Amino acid sequence: MRMQAHRHVNQATRDVRTYMKSCLVAALLCLYMAVLPAQPAGVGAPGQPPPDRYLLIHAGTLLAVPGTSPRAGMTVVVRNDRIAAVEPGYLSTVAGMPPGATLQVIDLSDRFVLPGLMDAHVHLWHEPSFSRHRAERGDRHPLWPGVPGTSAEGAVNAMVYARRNLAAGFTTLRDLGSDDEAVFAVRNAINAGRMIGPRILLAGSSIAVTGGHGDSTPMGQTADASARLANGTCDGPMECRKAVRYQYKLGADVIKFTSTGGFGSNTGLEPQLFPDEIQAIVSTAHLVGLKAAAHAYSPVAIKEAVRAGVDSIEHGFLLDDEGIAMMKKAGTFLVPTLSASYPPPIFRIPDPPSVKLRNQYRAFERAYAAGLKIAFGTDAGTFAHGSNAKEFGLMVGFGMTPMDAIRSATVMTAELFGISAEAGTIEAGKLADIVAVQGNPLENIAVLGNVDFVMKSGRIARQDGRMTEPFSYPPVSE
């Protein structure tokens, strides 16, 4: 309860900060607007908002709220960036459209239309093919050996890969650990409207302990405090609080920590953090109003994270029955990342231990049977970005219904991200994040691998299989 109160107070404080920032921006904007020459009508006269833009999406089959039945022959009315209404039949006009407003009909009457998909676990700054290319050239990160590429390369990667995820129908992504300089720059450019990309929630640098999974600080320089902070490396509760606060200061939307080893680091799968370090990370994240995600394989580490109040367990392959019961009671999400257990062929790993372990413990199947909250997440970045939808096939293959699999990538991810009021379903008032496929994914989940229409916040990113221009070039007045 106490934590809840803190979070509310903190949210209010953030709202005030955001409000004050927007006031400042508005004041500056008004100042500039006052000296701009008058613009022609329709373009948006000074001080007036641009004319309303209406889109009527004719949906052959509409799954507006995953978990409820789809309906045939529906119209989704989009006004600017949001859904204004969802109506039966194919509408061709909008009652009460203000003068000057524009209207466009989008014919998806032969398509299956559903909310924009979300992936709760990606790493946007690289993927195996890029890292291999670098390694084959003999290139090394100038600061951190073993880390693929520079921050600048990471930013270019993140721009390309974010768009590739969007092209695949993923309108919201949660990046759980990337070069922070790289991904913050890309998220900010998208949020500022300079580039059409997916909505991205960022962890910045994943938090790890010295020698732990994700610690890529250079050998011999572990005392370099600034490198440790930038890399999210911490030991002991005080340092770990600081590491969380540092990512918060950079603008993180979520805090990610690696509480056990992982398949990518050869550090085993056992606990690497003490309970007081886990407690420090989770409670500091909650104090500043952020959710916390724990990379965890060992059942001991999973349970310590749940005890500390973590919001999601990532991977969780070795989840035991006690852990399942604790997660169920606490409402903790599992983000299964089944795709991550299958290393891409590029790694040339015969008989991968990750697949063996997954099949031995069947954590996903047991969690689903127990009714745990499951949020779709893939670990894209450990394999090629844009192929995220293969996770749906794995989920359904391991016994989840196609409807629940779609729900896990829409309604459930929105709940985990804390954005249910804004996204996750196609309902009046929400942001217009809409995708379409040929065929019925409730009958054949594989069709989600071929999304050919994508709209994010009312802007068309992909139509008839083609991506629209990524960048916008607003006129600059000086």
Chain positions contacting Zn ion, by CB under 5 A: 379
Q: How far is the CB of 315 from Zn ion (least distance, A)?
A: 8
Q: Residue 207, SS3?
A: strand
Q: How far is the CB of 44 from Zn ion (least distance, A)?
A: 43
Answer yes or no: are the C-beta atoms of 68 and 86 closer than 8 Å: no
**Residue with Cβ nearer Zn ion (363 or 435):** 363
**Residue with Cβ nearer Zn ion (239 or 379):** 379
The C-alpha atoms of residue 232 and residue 256 are separated, in whole angstroms, by: 10
By CB neighbour count within 10 A (0-12 exposed, 13-18 middle, 19+ buried), where does 136 fall? exposed
C-alpha dihedral (140, 142, 145, 147), degrees to nearest 10: -80
The C-alpha atoms of residue 379 and residue 206 are separated, in whole angstroms, by: 13
Joined tokens for residue 103: 């209207």
**Residue with Cβ nearer Zn ion (65 or 296):** 296
By Cβ distance, which residue is nearest to Zn ion?
A: 379
**Residue with Cβ nearer Zn ion (164 or 256):** 256
Closest among 238, 240, 236, 172 to 205, alpha carbons compared: 240
**Residue with Cβ nearer Zn ion (379 or 433):** 379
Closest among 393, 258, 233, 392 to 315, alpha carbons compared: 258
Residue recorded with tokens 């903790």: 332
Q: How far is the CB of 171 from Zn ion (least distance, A)?
A: 20
Q: How far is the CB of 206 from Zn ion (least distance, A)?
A: 8
Residue 136: what residue type? E
**Residue with Cβ nearer Zn ion (127 or 379):** 379
Q: What do you get for the CA distance between the two ends of the chain, in Å?
A: 51
Q: How far is the CB of 11 from Zn ion (least distance, A)?
A: 27
DSSP symbols for 38-87: PPPTTT--TTSPPPPEEEEEEEEEE--SBTB--EEEEEEEEETTEEEEEE
**Sheet harboring 254-258: ordered strands across?**
254-258, 291-296, 312-315, 333-335, 373-374
Residue recorded with tokens 């990610």: 256
Beta bridge partners of 454: 435, 462
Answer yes or no: are the C-beta atoms of 124 and 151 closer than 8 Å: no
Q: How far is the CB of 111 from Zn ion (least distance, A)?
A: 32
**Residue with Cβ nearer Zn ion (199 or 295):** 295
The C-alpha atoms of residue 246 and residue 448 are separated, in whole angstroms, by: 38
